[in-house]
Structure 1
Amino acid sequence: MIVKSVVWFALGIAGGFVAAHLVNKDPRGQELLAQLDSRIGEFTDHMSDAYHEQETRLSDILDDAKGVAASAASHVAEAADHATDAIGNAAAAAKKTVSPSD
């Protein structure tokens, strides 16, 4: 079954080359192939442009996300510092209350 599919595939490719060769011999065929080539070139250019635009958008989104994450990490570190200071102050106040040195 697989061999049969491969044979048909190979025959299709060979047939395509033969048809393109015959069409290319005729001036109208040459014009047709030139138009086809031009349209394929335009299509690939549009696809390439769209790909690069999407790549730029995603890059911008990732850069924004990195900035937000860095900002959040900075705020968390700052909050942790404040919490540590508050705990230290509370411990010092509790120690003074339990055993006043004055």
Structure 2
Amino acid sequence: MKSLVWFALGIAGGFVAAHLVNKDPRGQELFAQLDARIGEFTDRMTDAYHAQETRLSDIIDDAKSAAGSVANHASDAATHAADAVGDAAAAAKKTITSSN
């Protein structure tokens, strides 16, 4: 409970100190610089986030494209294998029929 009281007093003291500093023109300049730096930081973080998001989207799109290509090749291979089995069965049937 004591910690909560000290925490609340610290927050209240911070607001009072900020209010007093903001009354002074030098304090206002300090807060303006601080605000500019925070704005610059958030802009950089936003740009970095969007760049990473774009990079990951490109990777996912490439993976989807590769998976589709593999699926198409697998489908083609299965079709060719089925045709080969069918041809082999027909040849075997023809051989059995002609030997009887």
TM-score, normalised via structure 2 length: 0.91
CA deviations over 1:41-85 (Å, ceiling 9, x no partner): 000000000000110011111111111110000000000000000
Tell me how far apart the structure 2 counterparts of residues 48 and 86 of structure 1 sit (CA, whole Å): 57
Given residue 21 of structure 1, which amino acid in structure 2 is its aligned partner? Answer: H
Structure 2's unaligned 5+ residue stretches are: none
Per-residue deviation at 1:33?
Answer: 0.5
1:4-83 pair list within 5 angstroms: 4-83=2-81
RMSD of aligned alpha carbons: 1.6
* Corresponding pairs, count: 100
Tell me how far apart the structure 1 counterparts of residues 79 and 5 of structure 2 sit (CA, whole Å): 73
Per-residue deviation at 1:101?
Answer: 8.2
Per-residue deviation at 1:96?
Answer: 1.0
| Identity over aligned pairs, percent | 76
1:97 aligned onto 2:80: no
Structure 1's unaligned 5+ residue stretches are: none
Tell me how far apart the structure 2 counterparts of residues 12 and 80 of structure 1 sit (CA, whole Å): 72
Tell me how far apart the structure 2 counterparts of residues 27 and 87 of structure 1 sit (CA, whole Å): 89
Per-residue deviation at 1:100?
Answer: 2.0
